[in-house]
Amino acid sequence: MASKQPEDSTYELLRYGETSGVPTPEEPEQGIRSFIWHSPSITIVFGIGTAFAVGCVVFTQWLGTQKFVCPDWALDCSVSEFLADVVAHLGQVQGIITAVYSASVAMMAYATFQVAETTLWPALTMRTFSLGDMDHYLALTRGSLAASPRALWQARGLGPVAVLLIATVIAILQLTSSIFVGHVYSVTNVTTTYFSNHSDGGGMGLSFDGFQMNPPGMLPGAAGDAVSIYTSWANGLSSEPMPEQRNFIIDRANLSAVGAFSAHAIEKHTTISCSATPINITSEYADMFTVQVNMSATDLWIRQQPLLSLWVDRWKNLSDARAVTTMMFAAINGTIEGGHRNGPSEVMLELGYTEGVSSLACDIDVELKDSVVCTMKDPSKCPPPSMTLSKLESLGQPCSGCIPVWLAAAVEVYGVSIYGTQPMFYPTVANPGVLAPTQLGNLSAALPVAWTSVSTAPTSYTWPQDILRNFIEVGSGALAITIMRHFPNESGILESRLPMLRIDARRSWLLLVPPALILLSVVLVAALSGVMHSKANLPNVHRGTTSEIVLNSQTEDIKSVVSEARKTSTTRATLSRLRVRYGVVAGGGAGLAREGGVSAFDKRLSSTAGFYGS
C-alpha cells in the first residue's frame, strides 16, 4: 500500500466525545488549592519575593536603629566603618534597596496575577465576551494597568469585578513600591538617646564683702569666668544657652549640647522688689563723687559720667541657702523708671547734667532649693531624673548664705573699676550696631555693657525697670553656670534625648504594607476563584493560557466563524468582535461558542466534559 506524502497529511483536533467509539477520559478534579499546590512557579516565586522583602525590612530596621553621628561628649557611642560607608553612600544604598524591594513586590504580585487568571473560565460561563474583551481581561490579570478601564467596563458580576479591581490595585502597588522606600529612607530628625558624663558639686571660695572696696578685692574663679560669659552675651558675640533654665545652678553652656534631659539640680528662687531711694552724696568733684553705703564704713567712689552705676548697699543672710541683698542703681544725668531724683548739684549743672542722679534700690531675695530640672518641651513627658547635677549638700560656699549674695550681686563684677570707682554701664539698645542680627529685639540681648571710656557730652539715658530686672536675672544666670565649673564633686551619667538626622526605625515597618496587601490579595483572589468555579460547576481550575484557549476553541461553531472570516479582508477585526461563551457545546463536550451554541454546565456534565486542560 502506498503511503501518503507528508504534504497530503491533515490533522484535526477533536473534542473528546465527538468521535464515536473513543471514550472520554476522566480528568481528576483540581480545585484552587490543588492548582496552587501543583503550580510550583507560584509558590517558589512568591517565596523568593517574600524573602527579599523581609531582607529589605530587616536591613532597614537595623539601619534605623543606628546612630549616624556620635558627638564628642557621648558615651558608649561609636559608628562602625561599615555604617559610616552606608551613611556616606546612603543615596546609592537607597537605590539598591529600591531595586531589590521593587523586584520582591513584583515577584509576590506574580502569585496574585496567576490565580486571578484562572477566573477567566467561570467569568465566560456567566456572559459572552468578545475575543477583544478576553484579551483585556487576561492582560489586566497579568498586571497591565492599560487594560484596566476596558476590562472593568466589560466585566459583569460581583466575582469578576472584584478580581479585576484587586488586580488593578496590585498593579498600582507594584508601581508605588519605590515611594514606600523613598519615604522610609528620608533622613529626618529622630529623637536619639545619648549618655554623657557630668560632675555635681560646684561652689565659690570667697565671700562678696571682700570684693566691694577701693581698689576692688580678688574675684573668685567662678565670678571671673562669669565676667567673660556675660560680656559675650551683652556685646552680641554669643547667645545665652537654655534661657528657660536660667534659675538652675547647672552648666547650661555644656548641657545645651546634649539635648533634652531630666536631672536633680539646685533651683534659685529670686524675688526682686524695687523702690525709689535717695542716695547720700558725701563729697563731690568734677570727675567723681562719693556715696555712703550701709555695708561699709568707707564711702564708695562714683565717676561723674552720664551713665549707670551700681553698688551693693547691704545684705542679710536668712539661712545657708537664702539671703536678701539690696542693690543700688544710680543713673547720672539719666532717669530710672520709678527712681528717686537726687539734685542736680552745682557741679552737675556745670557739667550740663541737668537731670541730676536718678536712684533706685532693689531688694533681691535669693533662695536655693533642691529641685528637678527638665528640658522637655512637654513637662508632662519628663522622665525620672537620671542623675544629680547639683545639690545643696555638696555646694561649696565660704560662709552661710554667701552664694545667694553672690548670685544677687553678680552684675557688679561685670563692670570695670577705673581708679577704684564703681563700675559703669551703658545700654546696648542705644547702640544696636553692637548686637548680632539674631539678638535684635531680644530682651536678654538688651543688656547693659561695661563702660570703660570718658563721655564729654551730657547724654541722658532712660532705664526701664524691666531692663534692670533682666540685668539682674541674666547676670545671676551667668554666675550660676560658672559656679558648677569649680569645686567638682562626684560624676554621674546623664541620659538625654537629642534630635539627630537619621532614618526613623519606625518607618521601616511601612515596607511590610505592600507584601501584606499582596498576601491578602492572593487569599481573596483564590477564594473568589473557588467560589466562581463552584457556581459555574467547574471542578477544574486552569489559567487562561494560549494552549487552553486554543483547545477550547476547537468547536464547530468557532470553526465555522473562522472559516467565514477568512474569506474577508477584515478577518482579525471580525474575530476580535466575535462574542463567545464557555459551556457545553453541541455534541456534549465543553468549549467556546456563540451565545446560541452553548449551554451552562451542570454537575453531572462538568466532571467529565471538556478537553484536557479545559
Indicate if 498 and 549 belong to the same structural domain: no
Give domain status of residue 37, yes or no: no
Model confidence at 3: pLDDT above 80: no
- Give me the pLDDT at residue 432, please: 47
Angstrom distances, CA of residue 303 to CA of 12, 285, 345: 125, 9, 15
Model confidence at 482: pLDDT above 60: yes
Mean pLDDT of 209-230: 85
Q: What is the pLDDT of residues 80-118, one digit of tens each?
A: 999 999 999 999 999 999 999 999 999 999 999 999 999
Count CA within 13 A, CB hemisphere, residue 167.
Answer: 36
Give domain status of residue 80, yes or no: no
Indicate if 486 and 549 belong to the same structural domain: no
Contact 234, 359 (CB under 8 A): no
Give domain status of residue 334, yes or no: yes
Q: In terms of residue numbers, what domain contains 578?
A: 12-28+542-614
Indicate if 546 and 602 belong to the same structural domain: yes
Indicate if 586 and 454 belong to the same structural domain: no
Give domain status of residue 120, yes or no: no
Indicate if 471 and 547 belong to the same structural domain: no
Give domain status of residue 489, yes or no: yes
Give domain status of residue 379, yes or no: yes
Indicate if 365 and 287 belong to the same structural domain: yes
Model confidence at 4: pLDDT above 60: no
Contact 454, 320 (CB under 8 A): no
Indicate if 374 and 468 belong to the same structural domain: yes
Final residue in a domain of this structure, among 502, 531, 565? 502
Whose grid coordinates read 547667645? 239
24 confidence band (pLDDT: 50, 70, 90): very low
- Mapping DSSP onto H, E and C, the string for 326-388 reads EEEEEEECCEECCCEEECCCHHHHHCCCCCCEEEEEEEEEEEEEEEEEECCCCHHHCCCCCCE
Of residues 263, 210, 315, the one with CA closest to residue 252: 263
User: pTM of the prediction?
Assistant: 0.72
Indicate if 494 and 556 belong to the same structural domain: no
- Give me the pLDDT at residue 11, please: 37
Q: Total domain count for the chain? A: 2
d(CA 246, CA 237): 19
Contact 121, 549 (CB under 8 A): no
**Burial of 48 by CB count in 10 Å (0-12 exposed, 13-18 middle, 19+ buried)?**
middle
Within 8 A by CB and 6+ apart from 421, the residues are 214, 288, 300, 301, 302, 303
Give domain status of residue 427, yes or no: yes
Indicate if 491 and 557 belong to the same structural domain: no
Final residue in a domain of this structure, among 480, 502, 524? 502
- Give me the pLDDT at residue 23, please: 45
Q: Check residues 408 and 431 and name the one with the higher pLDDT.
A: 408
- Give me the pLDDT at residue 27, please: 56
Model confidence at 221: pLDDT above 80: yes
Q: For 51-60, 199-208, 336-345, which range has the lowest pLDDT when averaged over its residues?
A: 199-208
d(CA 117, CA 140): 9
Final residue in a domain of this structure, among 502, 534, 564? 502
Indicate if 490 and 549 belong to the same structural domain: no
Indicate if 240 and 356 belong to the same structural domain: yes
Give domain status of residue 73, yes or no: no
- Give me the pLDDT at residue 29, please: 62
Q: What is the pLDDT of residues 413-431, one digit of tens each?
A: 999 988 889 999 998 754 4
Indicate if 440 and 574 belong to the same structural domain: no
d(CA 459, CA 454): 12
